[in-house]
Amino acid sequence: MLKLEDYKAIFAVASLAGILLFASPTLSLVLRMQGGERFSELWILGSGHMAEDYPFNVRADVDYLVYVGVGNHMGSSAYYVVYVKFRNQSEALPNATAGTPSPLNATAEYRIFLQGGESWEAPLTFSFLGNQSLIQSLIVNNVEFAVNKTALWDGENNGYYYQLFLELWIYDAESDEFQYHNRFVGIWLNMTGV
C-alpha cells in the first residue's frame, strides 16, 4: 500500500508534467531551437505583388513596375545587397554550380538590413532609351544608367531579347566584405515592339 508521502510525490510529478505540457506552446515562442535549413530568399513579383503579370513585350520610353523582395531565414540578422543587372542574350548570368556572380556591372543596388525571420520588399520601376536592337540607357527608379546593350535577332523566338536580373549578396563579417550569396532571379524582356 502507498503512503501519503508517495501520493504527494506522484501528484507533484504529474502536476509538473501537466504544467510543462500546457506551457510548451508558450515556451516554443521564447526558446528557439537550433536547426533547420538556413537560407535567404530573393524574388521579383509583378505589378500586382503576385508571381504573374511581369512585363514581357516592352517598348522604349514606357515605365514598367515590378517588386523586389528579400527574406532572411538565416537564424540571425543579415546585411544584404541586391544588385540590379541588365544583359542581352549572349552575356553571362551567374553560375549557380560554381556559386559565382555574373561578371556584368550592376546598374543599381538596394542595401537591406534584416533581422532573422524578416522580409523586405520595394518597387522597382524601369524604362529604356534606345530602339529594339540597341538599348542605350536603362532607367531604374528614375536614375539613368548607360548600358549600351545590343541584342541580336532571335529567329527561333522572333524577337530582340534582354534580361533584367537581380543578384543577392550578403555581408561576411570575417572577410569584412559582401559575398555573392548564390541567389539570382530575372525576367526576360522582348523589345521587338507591340
Q: Please spell the DSSP secondary structure of 121-143, one letter per residue.
A: EEEEEEEEEE-SSEEEEEEETTE
Residue among 44, 29, 42, 94 at smallest CA distance from 73? 42
- The pTM (predicted TM-score) of the whole model is 0.80
CATH superfamily of domain region 39-190: Immunoglobulins (2.60.40.10)
Residue among 123, 127, 166, 165 at smallest CA distance from 143? 127
**CA-CA distances (angstroms) from residue 157 to 54, 93, 161, 182, 187?**
18, 20, 9, 29, 16
Going by C-beta distance under 8 Å and a sequence separation of 6 or more, which residues neighbour residue 182? 94, 96, 99
**pLDDT tens-digit readout, 138-152:** 999 999 999 999 999
**pLDDT tens-digit readout, 86-114:** 999 999 999 999 999 999 999 999 999 99
| DSSP-assigned letter for residue 116 | T
Please give the residue that has the higher pLDDT: either 3 or 194. Answer: 3
